Structure 1
């Protein structure tokens, strides 16, 4: 999927597609709160298999009654090539490897305190996440993230000027506070200063 299609999906440009993706994703995540991933995958596979077997038997009976030679109802899908090419696998594995390596370098930089301010920000973020982790489990955070991904872009698009105005005010306040703290505490000034 390219970026434009993802943006169109999140901004609800095609209501049917977005509704189907959002509904299926939310249903899957909510199902995971009740059953394990193994059970969910098994139930989905059984449901799909039940539909395809029933359809295959129905078409076979219909062909026998009408004495037609239509053949297998899923022949077009069975003839399709589903193999992954080595180029695609190498492309995505190289992209994944590059992201993992950059993430590891950033974590090394933060944990080994290359820049004190960034490491302190990271420590504050981890401290906040301990409280988030105590309130929510990972699945709840995924559900909230999915709902946010499909609702916040639309809200931002509708109220962009007001949100940008208040975000600018908030950002200026934060910069002022961080600047005052950096001026008062020795050793917190950035290397570029």
Structure 2
């Protein structure tokens, strides 16, 4: 059986192509995020570890008693998992760290571009975005935004597939109006020239 690339797996998950798998991942992840919003990360990790240990210890004791009663030599119930190699391949780690480094460097260059006002219009747009973020930050904390983003990631693809034509129409209208407004603002700012497309 051919294994799926992780991007295809994530896409199948977000589009709910395998309902059972998506429901389990969505439910468990949402439960974890909601737990983090009420308890500290240390408490959540400790409770999850205790729950997992309770299950595995109980299963190990149950299998031990069953083997003693039936006088069988089945061995350790988790032997198959204990024998598996779980080490991360060095090549994979290097590949992903190189990709992450490219993104970090790109972000650093962009931040330098914005904060040192290489382009006045871009810096002003960034300032407006940060000003809007102050209001968002006053309404929501970071974890609430992560929870909302997580729920959106699992609902937006399905909604977009269903209403793609209408969403694209309104998106184009908003994009056109935003471009017109930015053009008017750029025309009034001395020394700001619209970017050539």
Normalising by structure 2, we get a TM-score of 0.94
**Change in CA separation of 1:191 and 1:164 when aligned onto 2, cut-off 3 Å:** closer
SS in 2 for 1:113: coil
- Cα-Cα RMSD: 1.3
The aligned residue for residue 22 of structure 1 is 26
**Change in CA separation of 1:185 and 1:137 when aligned onto 2, cut-off 3 Å:** same
Written as runs of structure 1 = structure 2, the 5 A alignment for 1:104-183 is 104-183=108-187
- Do 1:156 and 1:163's aligned partners in 2 also have CA atoms closer than 8 Å? yes
Aligned length: 193
Indicate yes or no: 2:100 matched with 1:90. Answer: no
Indicate yes or no: 2:85 matched with 1:81. Answer: yes
Indicate yes or no: 2:16 matched with 1:12. Answer: yes
Indicate yes or no: 2:196 matched with 1:185. Answer: no
Higher relative contact order (CA 8 A, sep 6+): 1
> Structure 1: where are the runs of 5+ without partners?
none
- Do 1:115 and 1:190's aligned partners in 2 also have CA atoms closer than 8 Å? no
Normalising by structure 1, we get a TM-score of 0.95
- Do 2:183 and 2:194's aligned partners in 1 also have CA atoms closer than 8 Å? no
> Structure 2: where are the runs of 5+ without partners?
none
1:172-193 CA-to-partner distances (Å, cap 9, x unmatched) read: 1111222222223322213549
Instruction: Answer with 183-192 or 31-40: which moved more.
Output: 183-192
Deviation at 1:149, TM superposition (A): 0.7
